[in-house]
Amino acid sequence: MSAPPHEARPTGPGRALPDTQQGMRRRNLARVMHAVSAEGPLSRAAVASHIGLTRAAVSTLVDELIRTGLIEELGPERPGRVGRPGSALAVSGRGPAGIGAEIGVDHLAVCAVDLRGEVRARAVRHGTNRGRAPEPVLRELTGLVRRVVADAEREGLWPAGLAVAVPGLVGRDARTVVRAPNLDWHDVDLGALLPGEFPLTVDNEANFGGLAELWLGADTPRDFLHVSAEIGIGAALVVDGSLLRGTRGFAGELGHVPVHPDGPDCGCGSRGCLEQYAGEEAVLRAAGLELGEDRVGLLARRAADGDEEVRRALREAGTALGVALTGALNLLDPEAVVLGGALAGLAPWLLPSLESELARRTAGPPCPVSVSRLGPEGPLLGAAHSVVRAVLDDPAAVAGRG
């Protein structure tokens, strides 16, 4: 018997729960979880003042969360001020875990993250997946998942769900890979090919990278654009703390924004798309390099070595990116732009031309552009954390399991 799928991508604490007393209760449980999770160890009284309920109400909520193993009582706080010291509460390190997986072009990776946000187990397999059929790849991925789950269970965790990051477009059902050019996959239903023991969510790697930035970034705002690139160039649009997905789930296709409308033909049918100027293939071609393994690393090394041809190619890519981003900034007015994925490693050579292009084309103060500190880890962490967030968003839904 497979577990029921968790609510498709909840966007906030306890959204869409019915407006009845039970729904209220569930939302308040979620608020307690969020407060304890975000603000570190907290006493019941502190939680109460954070979320605006009374100490008595919080007491019963916390009791329930402790009974279900989602919260732990750490013991009395060290008293620094007058009054009886509170008893510190923290989210449990032995409860549910989020299993994140990433299907990259050159690797597979899986990790388990506990409610505290710590990575408690991981497994990686290197080797290209380009052009391989979905079935063998997913069999391999399943093997890694089982290993990570076993490791996590040895530490007292149980898997609350699996989230898979894919380098391609994912339908709004959060299961189907509609198109993944780098893998040459089309309309692959991952739900049918992965273990059904726990709830599954599939999403674009740019989206999960953006969520990781939102949840784990140092001072990432709640409105930003997260740009990431492998062969394609994708963006995660985070608006008011949640992802903008679009009707079909295809939002954020920055790579096919027209940069020079009469430019070279693009595989998408259009002409002069950003991808023709800043995509991996285009940059390699402009730099006079061959395609091969670890293409991004190669570019970075050559650029660092002072290869002027490579540097010029990257400068021009940055300029094109700047043009496309100008359009996006005019449309979305975000608070920041974050470069993630492969772009993070090439940032030193992309940023100057990108930023000067933005400055040139923006009237007021230009939108700040920063580089993700998560780098290539973003999508994997975002995937795992998305499961953790789902638990925080509705702890009652998880209480029965485990």
Partner DNA sequence: CTAATTTGTAAACGGCCATGACGAAATAGT
Partner DNA sequence: ACTATTTCGTCATGGCCGTTTACAAATTAG
∠ CA 269-274-367 to the nearest 5 degrees? Answer: 145
Distance CA 375, CA 382 (A): 12
Cβ atoms < 10 Å from Cβ of 307: 17
Distance CA 360, CA 14 (A): 43
Could you tell me which stretch among 54-62, 178-186, 233-241, 264-272 binds DNA (CB under 7 A)? 54-62
The only residue of 1, 4, 21, 306 in contact with a second copy, by rule CB under 8 A: 21
Could you tell me which stretch among 33-41, 75-83, 203-211, 320-328 binds a second copy (CB under 8 A)? 320-328
| Interaction partner, residue 128 (DNA, a second copy, none; CB < 5-8 Å by kind) | none
Could you tell me which stretch among 74-82, 152-160, 207-215, 264-272 binds DNA (CB under 7 A)? 74-82
Residue 104 CB, shortest distance to a second copy, in Å, is 23
Residue 35 CB, shortest distance to DNA, in Å, is 13
Could you tell me which stretch among 1-9, 53-61, 171-179, 299-307 binds DNA (CB under 7 A)? 53-61
| 243: region left, alpha or beta (phi > 0 left; psi from -120 to 50 alpha) | beta
Residue 185 CB, shortest distance to a second copy, in Å, is 16
Partners of residue 137 on adjacent β-strands? none
Residue 174 φ/ψ, nearest 5 degrees: 60, 25
Distance CA 184, CA 297 (A): 23
Per-residue x/- marks for a second copy, 35-64, CB under 8 A? -----------------xx-----------
| 188: region left, alpha or beta (phi > 0 left; psi from -120 to 50 alpha) | beta
Per-residue x/- marks for DNA, 127-166, CB under 7 A? ----------------------------------------
| Interaction partner, residue 335 (DNA, a second copy, none; CB < 5-8 Å by kind) | a second copy
SS3 content of the chain, % helix, strand, coil (to 5): 40, 20, 35
- Show Cβ contacts of residue 303 under 8 Å, excluding neighbours closer than 6 positions: 310, 311, 314, 346, 348, 349
363 binds DNA (CB under 7 A): no
Distance CA 191, CA 105 (A): 20
| Interaction partner, residue 125 (a second copy, DNA, none; CB < 5-8 Å by kind) | none
252 binds a second copy (CB under 8 A): yes
The only residue of 5, 327, 352, 368 in contact with a second copy, by rule CB under 8 A: 327
79 binds DNA (CB under 7 A): yes
Q: How far is CA 216 from the centre of its chain?
A: 9
Per-residue x/- marks for a second copy, 133-172, CB under 8 A? ----------------------------------------
- Exposure string of 197-236, with b = 16+ CB inside 10 Å and e = fewer, is ebbbbbbbbbbbbbbbbbbbbeebeebbbbbbbbbbbbbb
The only residue of 1, 4, 21, 247 in contact with DNA, by rule CB under 7 A: 21
The only residue of 140, 189, 197, 223 in contact with a second copy, by rule CB under 8 A: 223
| Residue placing its CB nearer to a second copy in the complex, 31 or 122 | 31
The only residue of 12, 40, 85, 348 in contact with DNA, by rule CB under 7 A: 85
In total, the chain counts a number of residues equal to: 402
Which tokens go with 188? 């692959």
Q: How far is CA 160 from CA 26, 27, 192, 397, in A?
A: 18, 19, 19, 10
Furthest C-alpha separation in the chain: 72
Interface with a second copy by CB under 8 A: which residues? Answer: 18-21, 24, 27-28, 31, 52-53, 221, 223, 235, 237, 239, 244-261, 268-271, 323-324, 326-328, 330-335, 360-363
Interface with DNA by CB under 7 A: which residues? Answer: 19-22, 24-25, 28, 43-46, 52-57, 59-63, 76, 79, 81-87
